[in-house]
């Protein structure tokens, strides 16, 4: 039996009408009647095969697209190791701010996820929770202050050695004694001369 070939528009209309009928819960027989109204001229088994072939075609196209996507190298800036994604600093700050504000306002995590996605987040709810928690932990870490630089101790003036002081005292004492002795000798000489003169 020769296979019926439909033009693209008729085929698309038949498939759309039949798919809609099946989605609405109608039986294959009822879907067949709808397909006939859309231009189908085959039997009930044929419409079922047509839909199955179309489904396989779409599935094959999706698989091919997935393979092509997997083969294409991901840009270095788009993906990080594992499931982590890289966001620039401004986007990351906006995502965290939006999610935290939503949670503080009493919204659920799914609602916070919607807000975060509007701010540029591209992950799922569990990822957003980890994202916010890691940011909170990082904010709680105490900032270590640099240890103050120790000032160098002022150099104390070197103390004079005890032996030097003793030498100085001895020298001064000797000088004083010499001068006193000289004065006494001169006075004694004057007195001696005066006595000799009187005699």
Closest C-alpha among 100, 179, 98, 56 to residue 48: 56
Please check whether residues 104 and 50 belong to one and the same domain. Answer: no
Rg of the chain over Cα atoms, rounded to whole angstroms, equals: 54
Domain count of the fold of the chain: 2
**Host domain of residue 67:** 8-71
Tens-binned pLDDT, residue by residue, of the chain (199 aa): 556 677 888 888 888 888 888 888 888 888 888 888 888 888 878 878 888 888 888 787 666 666 666 665 555 454 444 444 577 888 888 888 888 898 888 889 888 888 888 888 888 888 888 878 888 888 777 656 666 676 766 666 555 566 677 777 888 788 878 887 887 888 788 888 877 877 6
> Cα(198)–Cα(54) distance, rounded to whole angstroms?
164
Residue 153 lies in a domain: no
Please check whether residues 103 and 51 belong to one and the same domain. Answer: no
Residue 164 lies in a domain: no
Please check whether residues 60 and 106 belong to one and the same domain. Answer: no
């Amino acid at each position: 039996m020769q296979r019926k070939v439909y033009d693209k528009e008729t085929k698309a209309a038949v498939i759309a009408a039949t798919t809609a009928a099946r989605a609405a819960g109608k039986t294959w027989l009822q879907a067949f009647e709808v397909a006939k109204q859309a231009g189908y001229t085959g039997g009930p088994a044929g419409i079922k095969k047509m839909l199955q072939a179309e489904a396989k075609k779409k599935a094959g196209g999706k698989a091919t697209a997935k393979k092509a996507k997997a083969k294409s190298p991901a840009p270095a800036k788009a993906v990080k190791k594992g499931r982590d994604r890289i966001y620039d600093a401004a986007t990351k700050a906006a995502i965290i701010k939006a999610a935290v504000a939503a949670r503080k306002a009493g919204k659920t995590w799914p609602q916070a996820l919607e807000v975060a996605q509007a701010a540029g987040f591209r992950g799922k709810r569990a990822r957003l929770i980890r994202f916010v928690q890691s940011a909170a932990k990082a904010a709680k870490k105490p900032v270590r202050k640099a240890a103050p630089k120790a000032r160098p101790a002022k150099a104390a003036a070197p103390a004079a050695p005890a032996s030097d002081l003793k030498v100085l005292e001895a020298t001064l004492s000797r000088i004083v004694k010499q001068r006193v002795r000289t004065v006494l000798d001169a006075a004694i000489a004057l007195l001696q001369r005066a006595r000799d003169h009187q005699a």
